[in-house]
Every structure is written in structure tokens, then in C-alpha cells.
Chain A
Amino acid sequence: MTDPVLSVRDLTVAVDTQAGPKPLVSDLSFALHRGETLCIAGESGSGKSITSLAVMGLLPTGVNVASGAITLDGQELTKLPERRMRDIRGARIAMIFQEPMTSLNPVLTIGTQLAEAIRTHDPKADAKKQALDALRAVRLSQPERRMGQYPHELSGGMRQRVMIAMALALKPDVLIADEPTTALDVTVQREVLDLLRDLQRDTGTAIILITHDMGVVAEMADRVIVMQSGRMVETAPVAQIFDTPAQPYTRALLAAVPRMGDGGGAAPITADPIAQLQDVQVSYDIHGGLLGRTTHRVHAVEHVSFDILAGETFSLVGESGCGKSTIARAITGLVPHEGQITVAGHSVPHDGLSAGPGLRRDVQMVFQDPAAALNPRKKVGELVAEPLVIHRIGTASERRAHVRDLFNRVGLSADQIDRYPHEFSGGQRQRICIARALALQPKLIIADESVSALDVSVQARVLELLAELKAEFGISYLFISHDMAVVENISDRIAVMYLGQIVEMGTRAQIFGNPQHPYTRRLIESVPVPDPAFIRAPSPRMATEVPSPVWAVGSGPARVVLTDAGGGHLVAEAAATDDAAVS
């Protein structure tokens, strides 16, 4: 084998604390060869991002390389002064970050930013032309027009393509991609992964791909490093990691990955509906012109009707911007809507403000980001007791006892109730949110992407908890997610949303066993499969854009007509949707 392009030997990175340096990464060694893709997999806090920042020489203040060597083509990087490191960064080692919006400067055009990146390292280059070539290489539609556009005019997937174009414009030896597709929708993720693989084949760039998603690992990696709390647990070729994992941690990580087809066949539930939505519409006005009149409208939710039965888990799936979270907010009475929503006998008022205490008791919501949904200045015990205080239930000591019970029920120690939210980990915080939602013994819990921000092993345990609570208290769930594998594992019935309308609805078996609508099929096919032996059918390489839900006043999207394909399996008539955009 040839010499490695990048090698890391005994790398230890430590953060300065009052109690002396505390290692974040310890004794990490690996070698990366030309044309190879190395995946660093692990959960949050495992040190995978710190490793990549150490290679880039971009460690935050207070965090330093304590020992070890990072060598690029025979050149030692850890001792290099910042001036020399700048020449290497971007030109020889490039990096793509998770969040394409925050990595691009919002006040400069795409072309300016790309050209600037090129000119920094090669002042004599014809930067404009190279930039255009780079945009063509990442298969961005209408590259000439994109050069003059600003980041906010592009969608998330397009922005990530621009980031890749910027990273690869100077043909670096090593590309570090830190969770490059985590913030993207699954169909867009598929496109970006395909693109990375094609570009690597053409240029021979070595890629370090950092991810927590074992599906992405299986599809992309040649070799895998599994990390846990700053240490390498296991390293092996990808097939070996998945077929014969040597370490218990790797096995646990793989076991926690939700897989399609694990759902099994639960008996269909026949019960009375707990929530009924009839022809629900939500739209936001966009004001414009001199007088601030409404000129356009965002049709976030259009003519949506469905029932949630008592004791069932009803899932809404779709990509970002399809209106699934808006439906959740309409049911909880947070946004004004048209149409009829009834939950547990309470009619939800249309104005999005005046929902009464009865509705507030019976419907609870668990948000995506538990850190954002808990007031950081309140003790967690106060937060969990708050619903009881608001609804004037029990005395102070009864409430305290109830809170302790709830903490025990969701798997937290009751001794922790006097701590603040920031003292807990992500999974624990989500348990606190669940305890809070349970306090009023609701009939319906809306889980809006409630497990998306969690690590897979934590995710598996939170999903387990939700299932236990459902069996114990007979709660119904409205589960909102973009993750098809999770939805497949926990749902009784599923509705697929596209651009504010439901395009397919049915039981889990109907949706996953017999997907009818092209969009549903595409969603299911796009999910990365955590099996390196899986060979994906070749699909056309494309850069699709979801059409905008913004319409001028007086016009609107065509209404989707659902027809029964047998057994309550509702499918949109293909003609009614914009088929070209979907399939």
C-alpha cells in the first residue's frame, strides 16, 4: 500500500479546566490513504468533532493538542505556526460543516464567496471561472445564476452543495465532512451522499466522514473508527464492523439503530377517535407593497383531514417545510386555523389564542429540542410541577410527591429535582419534558421530532419509554418525524405529507409494504440502510427542489384528492400532484 496522505499518531487533545487538563480525545491513531473514505462514528461527546478540528488546527481556545502527531504528506501539522497552517487549510485539507446556513456568509453572493476562497490560496487563478466549474461539478442547477445569488435564496441541500463546491474547488488532498447531511432531509441527504461518492471517484480525494448515523456509515465508508468518550473503541473495514463487531459498544450501537422492516405486525386498533381533524387549513399572510397589504400567502397546511384513534400512535412524515409541525401547533391551539379540530371532546378554537384549560390538560406536546423547551432558569422540579400549579391541582407537598413519582416513572432519580436543565444530558432532558407532559395525565401527546436530536442509543431508550407509557396509561401519540425507520418501528398508522397536503395515509403495513404514491416510495428508498452489503439500485443523479408553498392571494395549490386503494389505504391521485417534482 502507498504512504498514507494523512496520519494521526497517539493524538491526545485536552481541555483546560480548573482541575487541570481533561482529555477529550485520548491516544487516537489512524492513517488515511488517497481515495479512501474513513468514517468516524460515535455518539455526542465521543470526541469525533474535536478530532476533526484538531486536524484542521481549529481547536477552540482552551482546548489544545496535548501530545501526538498529525502528519500530512510527511509534514507535521501540530507544531506548525498559524500562518503556515492557513495555507494548508482550504487548499490541502478542506472541511464541510453540519449547518450549511451558518457556514456561509449571508451578505455575500455565492460567486463572491467561492471566488474569494479560491483567490486566497491562488491569487493568480481565474477565480470566477474556477468557481463556476466547481458549481457545475456539484451538479447545481443553473450554475451561472447561482453565482449571483445569496445563501438565503437557496435551499438547505443547495447550500450544502455550495459548501462542497467551496471545499473541493482547490482539489484538496483531504476532505473532512462533519455530519454533512444531518441537518438535511432524507431525499436531499441521498443526493449529497451520491454527490460526495461521485466526486471522490473523480478526484481521488480522501474523505473523513464524521457521523452518528450508522446507515450513512454503511453506505459511504471503506473503513470505520468507532469512538466512545474520546477513545477509539474499534477500527475495522466497514463490512467487518457490521458483520462481526468485536467490541460490545459497537454491538450496542448497531443494535440501537432503527431498521426498516423491524416493525412486526401489530393488530389494527379499532377504537373511538380521540382527535379528529376535518379539512384543516393553516396559512400565513405575507405583507408587501407600500400599504402593507397581504400580497401572498404561505399555504402551510391544506385541507388535511384525519382521525387519531384512542391508544394508537399516528405518525406524520414528510420533509422540512411540509407542514407537519404546523399541524401539531394547530392541534395544541398555538396557531390560527380554518376547518374543524376536535380533541377529546374539546373543539380547538380557531384564533390560536383562546384554547381553554380542558384542551390544555388533554393535549400535551413534547418538542424536538429539549434544551430549548425547558426554561434554563428554572429548576427541573419546578418545571415538571408547573402544569399542576397552572391547573391548581393538589397542595404544594402533594405536587412535590407527584413530581418525584413522575421522575421515577421516566427513569430519572427523584433526587435530581433541584437541579437546572443544563446539568442534564440531552436524553435526560427529553425525559424531563416527557415527565412534564405526563403530569396532567393527557389523552394525547404530540411528539414533534422528539427523538431526532438524540443519539441512537438514547433515542432507542426514549422510544421504549414512550411505548411503555402508552401501554400503561392508554395515551395516544401523534408522532411527527422525518425519520422513516423510527416511524416504521413505532407507528400504528401513518400519513405522508407533501407541501401541506396528505398524499398517502394508511396502516404501517400498507404504507411500508405497499407504498403507492411516488413521493412515499422515494422517501422510503432514500433512507440509508445500515448494511454495507446492501446494493442500492442505481438512481438518477439529480438536484430536485421542493416547490414553494407561497402563492399570490387568490391562487393556491391544486387540491389533492385521496382515493381508497383498499382497506382504508388512502392515496393521492397522481394527476393531482405535481408529479414531475415528486418522482
Chain B
Amino acid sequence: MTDTTPPDHAAPLAAPTERGAFARMLRRPLAVLGLALIVLIVGAAIAAPWLVSYPPDQQNFDGLTLEGAPMPPGGQWLMGTDLLGRDLFSRLLYGARTSLIIGIVANGIAVGLGTVVGLTAGWMRGWIGTVLMRFTDLMMAFPALLLAICLAAIFRPSLWIVALVIAMVNWVQTARVVYTETTALTERDFIAAERTLGASGARILWHHLLPHLWPTIIVWATLGISTTVLLEATLSYLGVGVQPPTPSWGNIIFENQTYFQSAPWLVFIPGAAILLLALAFNLVGDALREVLDPTQRGRR
């Protein structure tokens, strides 16, 4: 037996490490780094009007060289200018507002919706479960771009349409995974034990199933951030997303991708911003997953 738990009664157990989840998270350097990055990005997005010297959509007369090429980073232009002579730093900070709404709000709604659908289908089974999961399959098969174009054709394209489309497209993966995990969990003995105690369905769902799904939900939520930010960029590129001149990280990249070789900063800097945001959320998500799992405590 590789199980090295002490025999019955003999219990030289570690002292209980009971502290708030947040306090325990602050003891992990990587989690602190991630949290700091998130605070920095969100703070910069909120404080954008006070941090920038030029409005994001102002085409500056001195923002271009005499030949009409964009200015490289340095000096007057912290991050350089784009093809129309607009200040990239300013566009990046204002763009963060759009991207954060997409990456956090739209993605959050998608993951939440997916969890509710997956959990309901996995717990209820029967015809309700079948209908829900077949509907999930249907949505999975539906092309996201087509849906976005249809919706944009019906309504006026805007940030909120993009958020709606992303929420409607991205919940399906979460629903599938949560459904599979829920069906496996409901077969476990401790759920049967709850039922023999007479626990209500709501109690089992809330107290006994959901805590086990947190790791999965957190992973999907953090993975979704970078994909949704890029999906927004794709939609904007097709003209059904955020309308110019409103900046977003994704559409800064797409606007400038053809000039990648002559003005690399126009692609690199927003790309790095997306990367940092995704990384920060991944670090925090990872730490959160371990902090919330009592069986992981004292194992490291």
C-alpha cells in the first residue's frame, strides 16, 4: 500500500491551516504578481482620461513623419503613433476598457451560463437534460461568425452586440465539460450519502456539487479571456464588432497587421497587452484553484 496515512487513532496531524482564502493567496508570489497586473490594467483603463495627453481618436498633425509614416515609440509618443497619427498609448488605455468588458463581462456571462446549463442537465438528466445538451450541441455546430453577422444585421453593431454574441457562442464548451463532470460526480458515494440523509436537490447542487466544479469553471474562465478578446478583434475586423474609431486591443492589431514589418510596435504592444492580461488571469486562476481545494493544503 502506498497509502501512508497513520493507522487508526494515531493522528499526528498538521495544525489546521485555517485562514481566509484571500490571505492564503497572498502568500503565493505568482498569484500576487497576477493580481498586481490585473489591478494595474483595470486601474489604467479606468484612469485613462487622466493618464493620456491626447484623446484616442485625435489624428495628431505631428503624429506622422514627413513621409506620412507612423512615429516609433519614444520621446513625445510613449508607444509611438498609428497610421493616422493617433497616439497608441492613448488608444491602448481606452482599448483596455473595451477588451476588459469583453474578456471579463462577456466571458463571465458565457461561463456562468454554461455552468448553469451543464449543472442542470447533469443533475436532472431525463428529458430536460437531453433537451439542454442537444441544444448545446446545436449551438456548438453553429458558426459564431455567421451568428454575429446575423445579429449585427438585425441590430446596430456595437460593443454590446459583440458581448452578446461572445456570450452566446462561448458558453457551450463550459456547459459540455460541466455536464460531464456533474454526471460523474452524481454517481459518487457521497452524493448517494447526501440523498439517504434526505438532502434537498438545491442543497446537494449548491453545497456538494458546485464546490467540486470550481476548478473546471476557473480554468475555463481564465482560458476564455484571451480567446474572447481575439474573437472580438475578428468580429471588429469583419465590421460587425466594435465600430471605428472606438479602439480595442483586438482591432488595433487587425488595423495594423499589414504594416507589421515597417511599424512592428503597432502589433507587438497590443499583442503583449493581451498576453499579459491572459497571463495575469491564468496565474490568479491557478492559485485560486489550489487555495479553494482543501485536499491540496499541506501537500506542497
Which A residues are closer than 8 A to B by beta carbons?
15, 18, 24, 43-46, 48-50, 60, 329, 332-334, 355, 357, 360-361, 363-365, 367-369, 372-379, 386-387, 390-391, 411, 413, 416, 418-420, 422-428, 433, 436, 440, 455, 457-458, 461
Contacts and interface: CB of A to CB of B under 8 A. Distances in A.
Contact of A360 (B3, B5, B8, B198): B198
A387 B211 CA distance: 19
10 contacts: A333-B196, A355-B198, A361-B198, A365-B192, A372-B189, A377-B294, A377-B295, A426-B5, A427-B9, A455-B8
Contacts of A48: 1
Given A375-B211, A377-B212, A390-B197, 10 more contacts: A24-B4, A50-B2, A334-B195, A364-B196, A365-B192, A365-B196, A377-B293, A390-B203, A418-B18, A423-B14
Nearest to B297: A420
Contacts of B300: 18
B13 A45 contact: no
Contact of B3 (A45, A372, A377, A420): A45
B11 A375 contact: no
Given A43-B7, A45-B3, A45-B7, A334 B295 contact: no
A364 B194 CA distance: 10
Contact of A418 (B10, B16, B208): B16
Contacts of A427: 7-9
A375 B190 contact: yes
A267 to B, nearest CB: 32
A364 to B, nearest CB: 7
A423 B300 CA distance: 15
B3 to A, nearest CB: 5
A462 to B, nearest CB: 8
A475 to B, nearest CB: 15
B193 interface: yes
B201 to A, nearest CB: 10
B190 A372 contact: yes
A422 to B, nearest CB: 5
A576 B3 CA distance: 46
Contacts of A422: 294-295
B289 to A, nearest CB: 12
Contact of A425 (B6, B14, B190, B194): B6
B8 A457 contact: yes
Given A24-B4, A44-B1, A45-B4, A376 B189 contact: no
A63 to B, nearest CB: 8
B188 interface: yes
Interface in B1-51: 1-11, 13-14, 16, 18
A367 B1 contact: no
Given A367-B189, A458-B7, A60 B203 contact: no
B273 interface: no
Contacts of B195: 334
B211 A49 contact: no
A39 to B, nearest CB: 15
Given A377-B212, A390-B198, A390-B203, A365 B5 contact: no
B199 interface: yes
Contacts of A376: 294-295
A333 to B, nearest CB: 8
Contact of A363 (B196, B200, B294): B196
A374 B2 contact: no
A416 B15 CA distance: 10
Contacts of A45: 1, 3-7
Residue of B2, B193, B203, B212 most packed against chain A (CB within 10 A): B193
A45 B2 CA distance: 6
Contacts of A332: 196
B189 A423 contact: no
A44 B295 contact: no
A386 B7 contact: no
A209 B295 CA distance: 33
A443 to B, nearest CB: 14
Contacts of B4: 15, 24, 45
A457 B195 CA distance: 31
Interface string B134-167: 0000000000000000000000000000000000
Given A334-B195, A360-B196, A372 B188 contact: yes
Contacts of A391: 198
B9 A411 contact: yes
A419 B1 contact: no
Contacts of B207: 375, 378
B190 to A, nearest CB: 5
Nearest to B209: A375
A334 B212 contact: no
Report the 6 A-B pairs with minimum CB-CB distance, sorted nearest first. Answer: A360-B198, A427-B8, A44-B1, A372-B189, A425-B5, A373-B189
